[in-house]
Amino acid sequence: MELILLEKIQNLGDLGDLVKVKAGYGRNYLVPQGKAVPATAAAKDEVDKRRRELAKLDTQRHDAAQAKAALLPDKVSVTRRAGEAGRLFGSVSAVDIVELLQAAELAVQRAEIDMPMGPIKELGEHQINIILHPEIQRPLTVVVVPEEVPEIAPSEAAEGLSAIAPQPVTESGD
């Protein structure tokens, strides 16, 4: 399927380029997202006429992405329950990072989060990227720290266990 790109797409082409892509990628992603149009003679003429307007729009998106990148922190911290070996009970996903950044009033979409190693499943520092524009990537360090579990004194634990322990059954003399 031949398409004309309406914006720069990483690993595909620049604004106004005529590209050949698989039909599903074009029909299901590029065209519905407004990133490309089918390559017809009329569309080619239209893109040539609108090239300046599209370039200006791309410049505005680029500037907005730069401003957004300047607001993002270098490091964020996440607290999760973990086992003694440092493995998390669950994981830290892109959705968790988006929620964390949105709580700090930073507008980031899930699709902008690039986690090269997949969801984070261990304690420690992990590098991810936030892709705000095809030309602007912002590294972010996610620090996963263990959740503090309150320690119970041995005498309190024994009292708690005796309260839930089964009571001996006595036979009644009926």
For residue 116, what is the domain's CATH number?
A: 3.10.430.100
Domain boundary among 71, 92, 118: 71
* Per-residue pLDDT at 58 exceeds 90: no
Tell me, what's the pLDDT at 104? 83
Tell me, what's the pLDDT at 155? 58
Tell me, what's the pLDDT at 99? 92
Does residue 163 lie in a domain region?
A: no
Count: domains in the chain: 2
- CATH number for position 15: 3.40.5.10
Does residue 90 lie in a domain region?
A: yes
pLDDT in tens, 106-160: 888 898 899 999 999 999 999 999 998 888 899 999 999 998 766 655 555 556 5
Tell me, what's the pLDDT at 169? 65
Domain boundary among 71, 106, 122: 71
Q: Tell whether 86 and 45 lie within a shared domain.
A: no
- What 103-107 contacts at long range (C-beta under 8 Å, 24+ apart), as own/partner pairs, is 104/73, 106/68, 106/71, 106/72, 107/68
Does residue 123 lie in a domain region?
A: yes
pTM: 0.65
Does residue 164 lie in a domain region?
A: no
Percent of the chain with pLDDT over 90: 40
Q: How confident is the model over 27-36, as a mean pLDDT?
A: 92
Domain boundary among 47, 71, 95: 71
Percent of the chain with pLDDT over 70: 85
Does residue 162 lie in a domain region?
A: no
Q: How confident is the model over 49-64, as a mean pLDDT?
A: 85
For the chain, give the mean pLDDT. Answer: 85
Q: Tell whether 105 and 123 lie within a shared domain.
A: yes
Q: Tell whether 57 and 80 lie within a shared domain.
A: no
Q: Which domain holds residue 62?
A: 2-71
Tell me, what's the pLDDT at 128? 93
Does residue 158 lie in a domain region?
A: no
Q: Tell whether 58 and 115 lie within a shared domain.
A: no
Does residue 173 lie in a domain region?
A: no
